Amino acid sequence: MNMSTRTQPHKNQSSSSSTFHSKPTKKSHSDRPKSKCVPRNKPDSVAKSCPEVGSCQEQKVEEDCAACDQQAVKEFEGGLGVKMVDDSDEFGSEKRSGGEDEIVTRLEELLLGSTEVELSREIWSVNDQLQQDELIAMESIYGENLVISDQQRGLRCFQIYVHIESLKDITISTQLNSSSHVQITSDDTPEFSYSFKVQYLPPIVLTCLFPRSYPSHLPPYYTMSVQWLDSSKISSLCCMLDSIWNEQPGQEIIYQWVEWLQSSSLPYLGFDEEVILGPYDIIHIGDKRAISASVSPDVDIPSLKSYNDEQCHVNFVKNFHECHICYSEYPGVDFIRLSCHHFFCWRCMETYVSITAKEGTKTKVLCPEEKCEGVLPSGLLKRLLGDKEFQRWETLIMQKTLASMSDVVYCPRCETTCFADEDNDAQCSKCFYSFCSLCSEKRHVGTSCMSPEMKLLVLQERQNSTQLGGERKRREKEMINEILSVKEILRDAKQCPSCKMAISRTEGCNKMVCNNCGNYFCYRCNQKIDGYDHFKGECELFPQEMIQTWERANARMAEGQILAGLFGAQGHPCPLCGQVNAKVGNNNHIFCWACRNHYCYLCKKIVKRGSNHYGPKGCKQHTEG
């Protein structure tokens, strides 16, 4: 703004070490030159004397032309869209930390405490065009990170969000004491160090205001607001920006400022390896342009983590990724990212969750990544399954949870959930039937339960009775079938000692894990175990018959390897595993010693049944060579 010298500039009022005052030095009107103001909404008009100044000359005043100052402030407020707050306000600049009001107040102080240079119309027009071109170029480079407040009237004002560039994760650390402050007040106070890593830091907010004499004479007025730095460190960054201007005065400088802040601000502050928060509870009276939003570790640490998580999610959504299930590439919006940081495409997750829910063998759905124990939240399951399937899943989980509780039983008459007491007796709260929770028969105090064999014999004899009603006969028939099924299952299975689920071992060691409740037990003695210490006693980890089977298989493998070495000329790779096997004699039916599959030496196909493959219409089983 072309408001001519209202005050004499200080001797040290250079860009690099300026001290701006909130109010101009008071002088009598007769001691200062007549002020001129240039209309901000008409930049090409000729500067005229302010009419209010003429009226002020008729009376003795001790302050600057209030009308001109108010006009500048009003237009400045209109450009930012924020109302100024006076320094005397109890909620003024000293009590805010980095908000918009704080930025506006600081820029107002810089504006009122500085002296514009008297410019000719030609220089003013050139500056105006250079400012416009610079903003257009900056907007094309930084896009949404540049916010222009007002390009129509008044001084040009804008904000740039400068994001720190780092090729690796940034370590954030701070020293804490028991009161969660960095300032240590006593030698006896215990110190705690806390550190964490982030990929993104909150941006440095650079708010700039172009004076009319920029870039020909003066640098931009600016404030720098940083959430994770104290005001002393921000002041040192401001001094560096002043130095950059002093090295190339008269040129557009915003791009050089932003590039330096992006790439060199952390090394300049000595934060090459880690960023150290604080110090806190120290009032630093430094550069008015430095605005620190740092409050305390309790506030700063969660805020930094939250910002990093948000930026990681934004960056993830913008890029393409490979699903670890189907190995197809999709944009980030088509992925589901779990709390364990594993991510999978939406289609694969729908299939995985649907299959798991329909099987009903697990009480919780885990992350599909191998060896990951992350649990899918219920809200995500509902989105993947739909309301109907999710309700069925919840019902199934509740039933399995109740079934895993040792004192929960079901009434044999109405199937209502009941709780058994210490004597294994229960009473239904719906039909009031008292029964034994072990055999599901009516309560028999003082007598032992019938064995399954005895119960089966009694029920089978009662089926021949003509006195049983149709419904009673049908229920007892179902009980007979259930006993027979359990008897057949238990021939080759063991019951989990925790949830009583029948589990059969097909191969492997005696340490079993129940897929229903997740508990471990010994298959030999059927005891609940934890770890492998149990097998140091009487129970052995591997059954002897399985060890003997492995030894026979290993002997056969050794024999096959020897034959493949001796008869290398007749050797041929297995079509399934690729291991070389030798043809010994004239038999074309080859048994692979590695994968233990049979295949034909002539056609190189897997043979399931020799009688179907060899014969008049197939390959010959015996040939020479």
* Rg from Cα positions in the chain: 42
CB contact set of 484 (below 8 Å; sequence gap of 6+): 456
CB contact set of 417 (below 8 Å; sequence gap of 6+): 402, 408, 409, 410, 411
Pairing between β-strand 204-209 and β-strand 36-37 as defined by DSSP bridges: unpaired
Tell me what pLDDT residue 445 has: 79
Tell me what pLDDT residue 49 has: 34
Cα gap 210→356, rounded to integer Å? 63
Cα gap 141→221, rounded to integer Å? 21
What is the separation of C-alpha 138 from the centre of its chain, rounded to a whole number of angstroms? 32
Tell me what pLDDT residue 561 has: 65
Cα gap 523→504, rounded to integer Å? 9
Tell me what pLDDT residue 48 has: 34
Tell me what pLDDT residue 362 has: 72
Closest CA to 51 of 35, 31, 70, 69: 35
Q: Which overall architecture, per CATH, does domain 329-403 show?
A: 2-Layer Sandwich (3.30)
CATH 3.10.110 fits 121-141+154-309, yes or no: yes
| Pairs from 331-338 (Cβ < 8 Å, separation ≥ 24) | 336/380, 337/313, 338/367, 338/374, 338/376
Pairing between β-strand 571-573 and β-strand 580-582 as defined by DSSP bridges: antiparallel
Q: What is the mean pLDDT of each run of 10 residues along the chain (625 residues)?
A: 34 34 34 34 34 36 39 47 38 43 83 81 92 93 88 77 88 71 47 86 93 91 92 92 92 94 92 86 79 88 92 90 91 90 92 85 83 88 89 82 74 82 84 82 76 73 68 76 74 79 81 82 88 84 76 65 65 80 81 81 85 84 80
Burial class of residue 26, CB neighbours in 10 A (0-12, 13-18, 19+):
exposed
Structure-token match 């200062």, residue found: 32
Closest CA to 172 of 132, 202, 210: 202
**CA of 346: how far to CAs of 328, 334, 335, in Å?**
12, 6, 5
Cα gap 194→399, rounded to integer Å? 45
Sequence spans of domains, the chain: 121-141+154-309, 329-403, 492-541, 545-613
Cα gap 214→155, rounded to integer Å? 11
Tell me what pLDDT residue 502 has: 80
CB 154 within 8 A of CB 80: no
Tell me what pLDDT residue 566 has: 64
CB 83 within 8 A of CB 89: no
Tell me what pLDDT residue 219 has: 93
